[in-house]
Structure 1
Amino acid sequence: MSGLVVVGVDGSASSLAAVELAAREAGLRGAGLSVVHAFVWPAMHVPLGPSPLGPPEGGIRNMADHLLAEAVERARAVAPDVDVRHAVVTGEPLTVLEAQSRSADLVVVGSRGMGGFVGLLVGSTAVHLAAHGRCPVLVVREQPSAEGPIVLGLDGSPAGEPAVDFAFAEATLRKAPLLALHAWTTWNAPTPAPYDASAPYANPPGALAGQEERLLHEALAGHREKYPDVVVEHKTVHERTREALIEASRSAQLLVVGARGRGGFAGLLLGSVSQALLHHAHCPVAVVRGGDARR
């Protein structure tokens, strides 16, 4: 076994979709798959076994075992050659999955769980895990385009470098093209040095666009040589980042971003763009924290 993919399940349709994608990821990587259910009830001191008045197969613990067995069966149907493990782990979902992420190469979760409120686009576990997970976190949203590209959201910040490597590696595994997309506006472009109080308007026409184009090429430098089989399209657009990436996600099979961009506040674990994509993207979203991507 050359790695480990972990998927969190709770019996929801969203988590079963996550199981299928996680099984495919494990198959592509030649990795094992661990199907994990976070079992919160023991901490609440409620009876776990069947009721004396009910059927013997009833009870909360049996229900947990049943939903786990269903998830394992789904995984094996999708990727029969993958070594599938399973575990019921006592604890709150975020705590359990964050601990699992310490030894995993990838953690996969659904966008909403059984506890989600009607109308809530993405569950709190998915958002918090993307911020706190110790490895890349893949959040399954809508069904992806089977033939679409891997879309990589780039901003040129050092924190985004692990996301670049992750996206190239995913494109290699999936034999998919890669679209490297950098969106910028005059408000998020770096201020030229030396500081000019009238910047960015004092720059010659086209100067900022050229600067942002160079930033994109620099962010990709070295990766084309490392992944020579990946067909790369790079695109720089003068547009708000979240809108540009959400639109690109419509035809993508995966959207990859860093947890924070160059406009992020110090100490903020998950940037506003990443959060917006988790809520509104039209395909699965992989969030790769700086320093946490382990391939």
Structure 2
Amino acid sequence: MKDITRIVVGTDGSPEAWNVANWAAGQAERQQVPLQVLRSVELPTVESPGAELSPAEHWYSPDVVDEVRSQATEQLDGVVARIRDQYPGIQVERELLVGHPARTVLDSTQPGDLLVVGRSHMTGLLGRMVGSTTEEVLTHARVPVVVVPPTEHDATGPVVVGVDQSSSQEAFVVALEWSLERNLPLLAVAANDFDKAFWARQSPSLAEKRREQLETEQVRLLQPLVDQQPGASVRVAVVDGEPVTALRQASQGASLLVVGSRGRGGFSGLLLGSTSRSLGRECDVPLLVVPNVKD
């Protein structure tokens, strides 16, 4: 990704969080950009209207707040030290955040950042990324976001990108650049998700013609972008089913799955509502969400 000037990663000190930080550090090393490591602290509180103190200060004694922050700082320092040991060639900075995980992380990003978060059932930043916080980050982020799963994946696998017929192709351009930088195959996947009942009543040959039509149209849309990159190539596949299922099936064994966050439907708009939670929780490979800069 040519426009990335910094990688920002969230951590909570858990083993699952280290996998995320390690992935982010590897990308920072490859792209030769600084790495910012964040640790978020949010004490459970109840709003206290009229209170002069902040919710945390109102409900907890200063020694409790200080201890929580101290432990979080220690975890953060441990992750940073491990990164610096394994990736001595990259610049690493750290920051302890206090407040709502999604909001504090989003406020810490700036144009040119790639934000990396994890999928974990632990508490803290990464745990809060499951469910509503994941949707909040993916919906409101103005920078590309990668959600890294806790399971191992093949870093040498192809790059898979979800495409549709919308005029916005930011996600495809990012996927194309990513695959070229790493010399990996690129697979563009379009979902054949039209009226299932109608097509079930048609002959197999007619349904196949419909798939061929979708594939031909998608190649027509993408080829001008491919032609702008010397040595680039892409394989287009039309997969039957709704977008999330189609993407999950097509991305098995991939090194990265790329989708857009806005659009008129299909893959460009699939990260709104319940679909974002589904991909964020269930995707077996790193998921890169590219915002539409025109929004």
TM-score (norm 1): 0.79
Q: Give the equivalent residue in structure 2 for 1:63.
A: 71
Match of 1:147 among 150, 156, 178: 156
In the alignment, the residues of structure 2 paired with residue 236 and residue 280 of structure 1 have an alpha-carbon distance, to the nearest angstrom, of 21
Could you tell me how far 1:34 is from its partner in structure 2? 0.4
In the alignment, the residues of structure 1 paired with residue 32 and residue 62 of structure 2 have an alpha-carbon distance, to the nearest angstrom, of 37
In the alignment, the residues of structure 2 paired with residue 92 and residue 121 of structure 1 have an alpha-carbon distance, to the nearest angstrom, of 11
In the alignment, the residues of structure 1 paired with residue 105 and residue 61 of structure 2 have an alpha-carbon distance, to the nearest angstrom, of 24
Q: Which runs of 5+ in 2 are unaligned?
A: 44-53
Deviations 1:167-202 (A, max 9, x none): 1121123221111111213239xxxxxxxxxxx97x
For structure 1, which segment, 134-143 or 75-84, has the greater mean C-alpha deviation from structure 2 after superposition? 75-84
In the alignment, the residues of structure 1 paired with residue 243 and residue 261 of structure 2 have an alpha-carbon distance, to the nearest angstrom, of 14
- Spell out the pairing of 1:216-231 with structure 2 (5 A cutoff): 216-231=218-233
The 3 A distance-change label for structure 1 pair 17 and 219 is: farther
In the alignment, the residues of structure 2 paired with residue 104 and residue 63 of structure 1 have an alpha-carbon distance, to the nearest angstrom, of 31
AA in 2 matched with 1:75: I
Going by fraction, where is helix more abundant, 1 or 2? 2
Aligned length in residues: 273
Match of 1:106 among 107, 111, 114: 114
Secondary structure, aligned partner of 1:112: coil
AA in 2 matched with 1:93: P
Could you tell me how far 1:285 is from its partner in structure 2? 0.6
The 3 A distance-change label for structure 1 pair 60 and 49 is: same
AA in 1 matched with 2:17: S
1:234 correspondence with 2:243: no
- Spell out the pairing of 1:150-169 with structure 2 (5 A cutoff): 150-159=159-168, 161-169=169-177
Could you tell me how far 1:2 is from its partner in structure 2? 6.8
In the alignment, the residues of structure 2 paired with residue 21 and residue 48 of structure 1 have an alpha-carbon distance, to the nearest angstrom, of 36
AA in 1 matched with 2:247: L
Say if 2:243 and 2:270, in contact at 8 Å, map to a contact too: no
The 3 A distance-change label for structure 1 pair 23 and 250 is: same
Q: Which runs of 5+ in 1 are unaligned?
A: 52-57, 189-199
In the alignment, the residues of structure 2 paired with residue 29 and residue 246 of structure 1 have an alpha-carbon distance, to the nearest angstrom, of 27
Secondary structure, aligned partner of 2:251: helix
In the alignment, the residues of structure 2 paired with residue 129 and residue 121 of structure 1 have an alpha-carbon distance, to the nearest angstrom, of 8
In the alignment, the residues of structure 2 paired with residue 11 and residue 146 of structure 1 have an alpha-carbon distance, to the nearest angstrom, of 23
RMSD value over aligned CA atoms? 3.4
Say if 2:128 and 2:134, in contact at 8 Å, map to a contact too: no
TM-score (norm 2): 0.79
1:138 correspondence with 2:146: yes
